[in-house]
Chain A
Amino acid sequence: EIVLTQSPGTLSLSPGERATLSCRASQTISNSYLAWYQQKPGQAPRLVISAASSRVTGIPDRFTGSGSGTDFTLTITRLEPEDIAVYYCQHYGGAPPTFGQGTKVEVK
């Protein structure tokens, strides 16, 4: 089973600042089968990035995914109030798919 470790645990930023979220895998993720989800309180996770860097339809272009192999990054340029949420990375290259423990993005 691939273990995903996200850092930092919490990111405290002001609106307009840049958020950089990290996801490190315990082994290489093939074909960049790495997704990022956004979860707001009381809601289900929402897919924002697939294949490490492909933005899902409807997701603003301030969200950018990058990385390959074992190291992946989600960047939110110019943080907006509606971006406040917990973000999870997930590998989906094989069973069982696993999730990171999440990074909480909060307003400073």
Chain B
Amino acid sequence: DTAVSQTPKYLVTQMGNDKSIKCEQNLGHDTMYWYKQDSKKFLKIMFSYNNKELIINETVPNRFSPKSPDKAHLNLHINSLELGDSAVYFCASSQVPGGLQETQYFGPGTRLLVL
């Protein structure tokens, strides 16, 4: 019944490794997002896809690459992990942006720790 789910919930890895985080939503939404919440608790948008098409690509290192195989899934792949990548990554979804009602629904977050 979970609306937006993320796996894994926790991820501890060594610097230099490549890792992926998966996100799935069963709300039938057209738009999905990835956010990063740093140690100071600020949430910043990284990417957004609408119907598998990239619509937001913030200033994020090329090591981060989103992939949307279908509109219910948005995965985040990170190459050559660095210490500064340690954060909580949240996936979210909403109806088509620009609508008058576009509440975003968030997943539980993936806590990434790079050692």
| A and B: interacting chains | no
Residues in chain A within 8 A of chain B (CB atoms): none
Residues in chain B within 8 A of chain A (CB atoms): none
